[in-house]
Amino acid sequence: MRFSRRQFLKLAGAGAMCLTLGSFGVNVDEAFAYSKKLKIEGAKEVVSICPFCSVCCQIIAYVQDGKLVATEGDPDFPVNEGALCAKGAALTSMYTDDHRLTKPLYRAPYSDKWEEKSWDWTLDQIARRVKDARDKNFILKNDKGQTVNRLENFFMMGTSHASNEECAVIHQAMRGLGVVHMDHQARV
């Protein structure tokens, strides 16, 4: 019988747990009963790719009733061999964590409070402010009279939880505006 690396690790992990618990006099049947209650029990395994950088570590996503319940590194994939960095390891929480923002929050100048705003209001505000600032500060030519078409008073800082594809779209949008200063956490 042949085992994949992942199946081997699962069996080895279960075996080690039972041996360890057994040697301490713990009822191993109870341990097995507990393991059956784990949140990935019966979940569908979907192999996917971590979206956060160009290393492209492979992950296994566990899906139950159409919802993501857990993720882990894929031990069978040669690039990451089951390992994930902190961002990849926190992938599940990006979708399921209660602290995840799902609506725009706005803090007015000099205010110490965040207000919940609609997407329409937020996008209108961003568009208006970007347009005004760009019109005011756009540089057509440099000191030598050479055409540069750039904005030097904008800076775009990308979140570490933007995916590769989101970063590509953001980068193109910023370049289209003439923004030359930008940075992002995932520069691997």
What is the contact surface with ligand SF4 in residues (CB under 6 A)? 50, 52-53, 55-57, 80, 84-85, 87-88
Q: How far apart are CA 163 and CA 87, in angstroms?
A: 11
Distance of closest approach, residue 55 Cβ to ligand SF4, in angstroms: 4
DSSP 3-state of 53: coil
Distance of closest approach, residue 156 Cβ to ligand SF4, in angstroms: 20
Distance of closest approach, residue 14 Cβ to ligand SF4, in angstroms: 25
Nearest-CB residue to ligand SF4? 88
- Residue closer to ligand SF4 (CB basis): 43 or 80: 80
Distances (CA, A) of 29 to 13, 34, 43, 150, 160: 16, 9, 22, 68, 43
Distance of closest approach, residue 114 Cβ to ligand SF4, in angstroms: 28
Burial of 7-39, coded b for 16+ CB within 10 Å and e otherwise, reads eeeeeeeeeebbeeeeeeeeeeeeeeeeeeeee
| Listed residue (14, 7, 12) closest to 33, CA to CA | 14
Distance of closest approach, residue 80 Cβ to ligand SF4, in angstroms: 6
Half-sphere exposure of 43 (CA within 13 A, CB side): 20
- Residue closer to ligand SF4 (CB basis): 62 or 179: 62
Residue 116: both structure tokens together = 């919940």
- Residue closer to ligand SF4 (CB basis): 87 or 184: 87
- Residue closer to ligand SF4 (CB basis): 56 or 70: 56
DSSP 8-state secondary structure symbol assigned to residue 43 = P
